[in-house]
Amino acid sequence: MASLVRSATLRFLKPLGNLTLNDAFNHPRTQTRSVRAFSTTLSPPSKAVVYEQHGPPDRVTRRVIQLPPVEVKENDVCVKMLAAPINPSDINRIEGVYPVRPQVPAVGGYEGVGEVQSVGSAVKGLLPGDLVIPSPPSFGTWQTHIVKDQSVWYKINKNSPLEYAATITVNPLTALRMLEDFVTLNKGDAIVQNGATSIVGQCIIQLAHHRGIHNINIIRDRTGSDEVKEKLKNLGADEVFTESQLEVKNVKGLLSGIPEPALGFNCVGGNAASLVLKFLGRGGTMVTYGGMSKKPITVSTSSFIFKDLSLRGFWLQNWMSTEKAKECRVLIDSLLDLAREGKLKYEMELVPFDNFNAALDKALGKQGSQPKQVINFQL
């Protein structure tokens, strides 16, 4: 502790001339400040993935550096991070193309889970040992220790599976909000989506199935598509089609006993978005929340005139900026309950922090389709 206090003390000193480190620490002015420093709680040093400029993530985040201890003020909570995912939006922030991003230099990451290590004197409701997540999510989760105001942290059930606690906010909450915010769905209704193998897509399948809502899923043509279909059906998918299977005039003729979908989800764009539109019934709504193909959405004039279709967009960051964000923590609890019960699951790979670069390469798609990469700071 003394060494930490000493480093913290010297950071705030004005120059004392040509003194040795020992002389500087024993100088009267230093002594006065070090007494004050001993009454200050400091965090441990933090190992962090830092990028100093925007650019290709595999080039600007190659170094893990150590950050100095910081003061834990009266309303602050020091959290030892346990796990944090590498999300596509994290990559976009590092690239500098995401609409909301921190100023550089910055620590990567946006969601995760940690354990309270220490609390400021005015903090209420949180104690050392509590399991917490940043809610709403907060920049800088790719580091071993974080100190932020108590309002950032939300205490969750300590029995929550680590990897699900770390990833519950961005993808599962997106799926839940989209199912609830655009069309009133009742048991027996139907939805359709592309990008069904994505984490959001898998969550939509399971949440819809849990509510008795039929779901029609579109995947890209690939080697092993039969295995992918089987995997999605085991999650609760009613129908799974490859894009080439839908190259027919009447796609609705492929459905058996499923009503026309009133709601569709698009995270791909291009032809995959057009296929979602083909399934929708009159007055249906397609919600776009991503554009993985980087191709535009093309809609026929007849779809607007004769089917009266609506096109909407969803961005979780925007939703969290509204008064509805107050619901966020209650919804997270309900999603974690489903994860603990085995009713919400998706494939992830826990990776030691020391192997961050290898995990980043997988997240960037350098090794083909991979499970979501989750940094485990304990391994």
Distance CA 183, CA 267 (A): 18
Q: Are residues 13 and 138 in the same domain?
A: yes
Average pLDDT in the chain: 89
165: nearest Cα among 145, 137, 146, 207: 137
How do residues 251-283 score in pLDDT, each as one tens digit?
A: 888 988 899 999 999 999 999 999 999 999 999
How do residues 291-303 score in pLDDT, each as one tens digit?
A: 999 899 999 998 8
How distant, in Å, are the alpha carbons of 27, 57, 322, 340 from that of 146? 32, 22, 26, 26
Q: Are residues 60 and 118 in the same domain?
A: yes
Residue 320: per-residue pLDDT: 83
**Residue 336 half-sphere exposure, CB side, CA atoms within 13 Å?**
25
Grade residue 25 by pLDDT with cuts at 50, 70 and 90: very low
Residue 180, pLDDT > 70, answer yes
> Which residues, listed in sequence order, are joined to residue 320 by a DSSP beta bridge?
none
Q: Tell me if residue 98 is catalytic.
A: yes
Give a yes or no: residue 336 inside a domain: no
Give a yes or no: residue 194 inside a domain: yes
Residue that finishes a domain, picked among 298, 316, 334: 316
More confident residue, 149 or 8: 149
Residue that finishes a domain, picked among 267, 301, 316: 316
Q: Are residues 20 and 130 in the same domain?
A: yes
Q: Are residues 233 and 369 in the same domain?
A: no
Q: Are residues 310 and 351 in the same domain?
A: no
Give a yes or no: residue 333 inside a domain: no
CB count within 10 Å of CB 353 equals 21
Residue 250: per-residue pLDDT: 86
Contacts of 358 by beta carbon, 8 Å cutoff, 6+ apart: 351
Q: Are residues 284 and 219 in the same domain?
A: yes
Q: Are residues 175 and 202 in the same domain?
A: yes
Residue 11, pLDDT > 50, answer no
How distant, in Å, are the alpha carbons of 44, 118, 351 from that of 204? 40, 37, 26
Residue 123, pLDDT > 80, answer yes
Residue 229, pLDDT > 80, answer yes
Residue 40: per-residue pLDDT: 75
- Give the pairing type, strands 190-194 and 76-85: unpaired
> Exactly one of 51, 98, 154, 164 is catalytic; which is it?
98
CATH number (domain holding residue 57): 3.90.180.10
The mean per-residue pLDDT over the stretch 230-248 comes to 96
Longest CA pairwise span in the chain (Å): 87
Give a yes or no: residue 41 inside a domain: yes
Q: Are residues 44 and 135 in the same domain?
A: yes
Give a yes or no: residue 325 inside a domain: no
87: nearest Cα among 294, 345, 360, 379: 360
Q: Are residues 224 and 355 in the same domain?
A: no
The mean per-residue pLDDT over the stretch 85-109 comes to 95
User: Which residue is associated with the tokens 């990008």?
Assistant: 195
Distance CA 108, CA 181 (A): 30
Report the number of distinct structural domains present in the chain.
Answer: 2
Grade residue 248 by pLDDT with cuts at 50, 70 and 90: confident
Q: Are residues 179 and 153 in the same domain?
A: no
Q: Are residues 221 and 114 in the same domain?
A: no
Residue 339: per-residue pLDDT: 97
Give a yes or no: residue 69 inside a domain: yes
Q: Are residues 52 and 111 in the same domain?
A: yes
Domain range enclosing 44: 2-158+347-376
How do residues 40-79 score in pLDDT, each as one tens digit?
A: 799 999 999 999 999 999 999 978 999 999 999 999 999 9
Residue 228, pLDDT > 90, answer yes
Grade residue 90 by pLDDT with cuts at 50, 70 and 90: very high
What tokens does 16 get?
A: 């004392």
How do residues 288-342 score in pLDDT, each as one tens digit?
A: 999 999 899 999 998 899 999 999 999 998 888 766 666 889 999 999 999 999 9
Element (H, E) at 180: helix 170-181
The mean per-residue pLDDT over the stretch 94-103 comes to 93
Give a yes or no: residue 341 inside a domain: no
Distance CA 209, CA 213 (A): 6
Q: Is the dihedral of CA 60, 368, 165, 203 positive or negative?
A: positive
Give a yes or no: residue 10 inside a domain: yes
CATH number (domain holding residue 208): 3.40.50.720
